[in-house]
Structure 1
Amino acid sequence: MTKREGGCIVIADEEDKKLQNELVALIEKHSGEDGTHSTPIPDLQLIRASKPSEPIHSVHEPALCLVAQGTKLVLLAQENYLYDPSSYLVVSLQLPVTGQVIEASPERPYLCLRLNVDPGRIFDLVSRSDPPIVKPSGSRRALYVNRVDRELLEAVVRLARLLDRPRDIPVLAPLFTQEILFRILQAEQGQSLAQFARIGSHAERIAKAVRLIERDYDKPLSIAELAAAVHMSPSSLHHRFKEITAMSPLQYQKQVRLQTARRLLLSEAAEAADAGFRVGYESPTQFSREYARMFGLPPIRDAKRLRESLGLAAD
């Protein structure tokens, strides 16, 4: 497939190289300019960047991200995940992450295909597979990087080709999407995605806990009440939550709160104290301190810098 030598991507096989080049051409053709672009294929987005980016904070939805050109770094809590054309990223649960394009230029832009993962499709594939299609894996982390193989690359290119044949999309896109999900479930670490499809499993309960935290992020978080809601003990909830998300429930809530406050500051030009109060902080001082620790600047200065970098007029 592909490998790195001396910091460069080397295509190890001519057929792989041909597929990789075709994917680059398709993404370039159907994206056209920098940004994230929806496509006529449900759940498929194309991402293009002609220069390295600043760190971008977001709550990443479940998805497969496959880079055709360039390199990206994703941070989950204190963990770093680097991926490029030799690898792909899978996010199997909503997670607060920081992403940064670190290799891109006008001549060789960063090009990425993102396919949102529908948990219902994963459940269907796992539940009707006999024998099981998923290999045992020691890792439970809901985010991982794995190596691209020929079968997955072929399936992804088949899906991308449909962008040139829009009339075929309603019939063929669901089939090709199912094959892609099948391939990543079969691959090493596929267990990290499949675990959420097992009703009553620890992972399924943690997914429910994540949904409850996101729904009520602006309210005080009681670990005892959250544990009871997902039928776990507080100690088991804490252990399993950190095993899957790389952070505690309180750390998860804090990241969601601060990212939401940042959006309020940017989109509504809210006052710092008001933004902090709206996301659940009672102390403006604590809000400002934790905000600066996460984003590098106090709230108002950070919002001003973001507006300037995005070319937005100040109110």
Structure 2
Amino acid sequence: MADKNIIEVTNLGHTYMKGTPLEHIALSETSIYVKEGECVAIIGHTGSGKSTLIQHFNGLMRPESGEVIIDGENIADKNIDIKSLRRKVGIVFQNPEDQIFESLVGDDVAYGPFKSGLPVKEVRERVKWAMSVVGLDFDEMKDRQTFALSGGQKRKVALAGILALKPKVLVLDEPTAGLDPKSSKEILEKIQDLNKKEKMTIVFVSHNMEEVAFLADRIYVMAEGTVVLSGTPREIFTDREKMQKYHIGTPETVRLLYRLQAEGYSVRADAFSIEEVSKEVLKVLSHN
């Protein structure tokens, strides 16, 4: 993994409805750093500033105070090429309907590359590649009506549409919200493949601690518009005191170990992955 930061956010501030009775500070002195090739999770309660933060990553919002540097470019620079920035940093929002513009699946996935002025042959190749990455069969799905798709299929189409731009950074807001377990597992495995096999930098917002434990190299915890804690999943999920202090949800794996400890079993306190916890459980079973 490279040591270069591809995202550098320093002391970022943003206030909604400034100067009105409805003024609300969404971000205050927020700093986060993401290295090339990392998978970083941003967690925190609703209203903690997560969605406002990620909208600064591709220029949907510009800094009111502080600094946002994306791949060496300052997004406050008036001469920055926003179109180029948005090809570099693709955001997949929580509601896929917000990102589906065309009536046919193939046309929708092709929308971004086509608008970027790429040759038709390359657009077609990118569409085929992006659809295959998210598990949509090109021949079977390209002429399917987008309005008739299931929630899971719509999410895959929205993701494919962003991937067809070949971004360096993929940003996902609640990637599995509203999906059934099978679709959730498929999407998470696709995201992991993009990160590990395609070396794509991933930043995702989530309330689901299982998917955070599964995907993230590092975690930022936000509360009241700022970062209150950061670390690896092991550092975050095995620090019971901090988890309680910041009301961080507990992955099922960690909850199981806590219950075993409470019952008097000697199990590792620093395990959180399914593989590690399985070993601890088997150890308990083998001694009984």
Instruction: Give me the TM-score of the superposition, normalised by structure 2.
Output: 0.30
Greater helix share, 1 or 2?
Answer: 1
With CA pairs under 8 Å and 6+ residues apart, which has the higher RCO, 1 or 2? Answer: 2
Instruction: Give me the TM-score of the superposition, normalised by structure 1.
Output: 0.28
